[in-house]
Amino acid sequence: MLVSAKEMLTKAKAGKYAVGQFNINNLEWTKAILQTAEELKSPVILGVSEGAGKYMCGYTTVVGMVNGMLNELGITVPVALHLDHGSYDGAMACINAGFSSVMFDGSHYPIEENIAKTKELIAICDEKGISLEAEVGAIGGEEDGVVGNGEVADPNECKMIADLGVTMLAAGIGNIHGKYPENWAGLSFETLDAIQQLTGEMPLVLHGGTGIPADMIQKAISLGVSKINVNTECQIAFAEATRKYIEAGKDLSGKGFDPRKLLADGTAAIKATVKEKMELFGSVGKA
Ligand code: 13P
């Protein structure tokens, strides 16, 4: 059964480790992440962006697939199904479809509007036992080939949103989605420290987990980060392994064109990436 992310993140914050959010794109992705979490006895959060939700034929299809897998694979570790960077309408659609966790990303709104919309969603999520992630300070990333530096959140605005009663809070601390540019200034630990001082027990979320060096990840966890999102790194691992399979001509040998064979190496590469991250985040054996 899907669970809210609240308990797993409260435990992670207290135990000074982080739970990984791994974004899913299809059946292979989902299966690889769930199997790895079960093998390593780690709690896990499956992230679904609005785009990925559309790609997978809508939120109810995603809920059906994930619930089916929890059952068929005999998953015993805590699993949350979470909307990533949701709009207000997207969050409502996921709540109604059976997600156990949603993110409302109001970071592009003026703070008053972010607060008003987050508040409305808190009331709905609380009633249904669904965890809610809010965001302050937009996470940068590559757009139209231009890489923007991540915004740095205002710690006082973070406190305002945290005090509303959200489950977890994503705050921009110079992190960005996708690969980091060579001249990236790194994470702003000063900001993270200030945010944690003001928000106390609130589990903090680090987006853009791809390519952040291990020492920065560990320092971020020591300063209150208890959920780390990873997407691009799994995509790159999948693509590289699949390319190697094709370049080696394996699809041309025997029944190597069978999608169950064609996608097997890529799926194994996702599992290896997820395992590496769970070990780095310290969530292994915490289920
Ligand atoms: P990356 O794609 O950089 O790993 O970021 C993932 C993320 O933060 C999803 O919200």
Please name every residue paired with 103 in a beta bridge, in sequence order, or none if there are none. 133
Can you tell me which atom of ligand 1 is nearest the CA of 207? 8
Separation CA 97–CA 10 (nearest Å): 25
Predicted pLDDT at 148:
58
Predicted pLDDT at 214:
97
Predicted pLDDT at 142:
56
Per the annotation, the verdict on 215 as an active-site residue is no
Separation CA 141–CA 229 (nearest Å): 14
Predicted pLDDT at 144:
47
pLDDT digit string, tens, across residues 72-85: 999 999 999 999 99
Q: For the domain bounded by 6-281, which CATH number is listed? A: 3.20.20.70
User: What is the average pLDDT value for the chain, to the nearest integer?
Assistant: 95
Q: Is 230 in the pocket of ligand 1 (CB under 6 A)?
A: yes
Taking phi over 0 as left and psi of -120 to 50 as alpha, with beta for the rest, 152 belongs to beta
Q: Is 277 in the pocket of ligand 1 (CB under 6 A)?
A: no
Predicted pLDDT at 143:
47
Predicted pLDDT at 108:
86
Are the C-beta atoms of residues 180 and 169 closer than 8 Å to each other?
Answer: no
Predicted pLDDT at 248:
98
Amino acid, single-letter form, for residue 256: G
Exposure of 14 by Cβ count < 10 A (0-12 exposed, 13-18 middle, 19+ buried)?
exposed
Q: Is 207 in the pocket of ligand 1 (CB under 6 A)?
A: yes
Return the residue matching tokens 């036992």.
129
Can you tell me which atom of ligand 1 is nearest the CA of 179? 3
Exposure of 143 by Cβ count < 10 A (0-12 exposed, 13-18 middle, 19+ buried)?
exposed
Distance of CA 142 from the midpoint of ligand 1 (Å)? 11
pLDDT digit string, tens, across residues 48-63: 999 999 999 999 999 9
Q: Is 229 in the pocket of ligand 1 (CB under 6 A)?
A: yes
Predicted pLDDT at 138:
74
pLDDT digit string, tens, across residues 7-50: 999 999 999 999 999 999 999 999 999 999 999 999 999 999 99
Domain ranges of the chain: 6-281
Distance of CA 263 from the midpoint of ligand 1 (Å)? 22
pLDDT at 137 over 90: no
Distance of CA 250 from the midpoint of ligand 1 (Å)? 31
Distance of CA 138 from the midpoint of ligand 1 (Å)? 13
Exposure of 54 by Cβ count < 10 A (0-12 exposed, 13-18 middle, 19+ buried)?
exposed
Alpha carbon of residue 287 to chain centroid: 17
Distance of CA 228 from the midpoint of ligand 1 (Å)? 9
**Burial per residue of 176-209, b for 16 or more beta-carbon CB atoms within 10 angstroms, e otherwise:** bbbbbeeebeebbeebbbbbbebbeebbbbbbbb
Predicted pLDDT at 183:
87
Q: Is 25 in the pocket of ligand 1 (CB under 6 A)?
A: no
pLDDT at 5 over 80: yes
Output the pTM of the full model: 0.96
Percent of the chain residues topping a pLDDT of 70: 97
Return the residue matching tokens 């993140």.
9
pLDDT digit string, tens, across residues 138-157: 776 654 455 556 788 999 99
Q: What is the dihedral of CA 173, 178, 182, 185, to 10 degrees?
A: 0
CA angle 259–279–167, rounded 5-degree value:
95
Exposure of 33 by Cβ count < 10 A (0-12 exposed, 13-18 middle, 19+ buried)?
buried
Q: Is 177 in the pocket of ligand 1 (CB under 6 A)?
A: yes
More confident residue, 184 or 66: 66
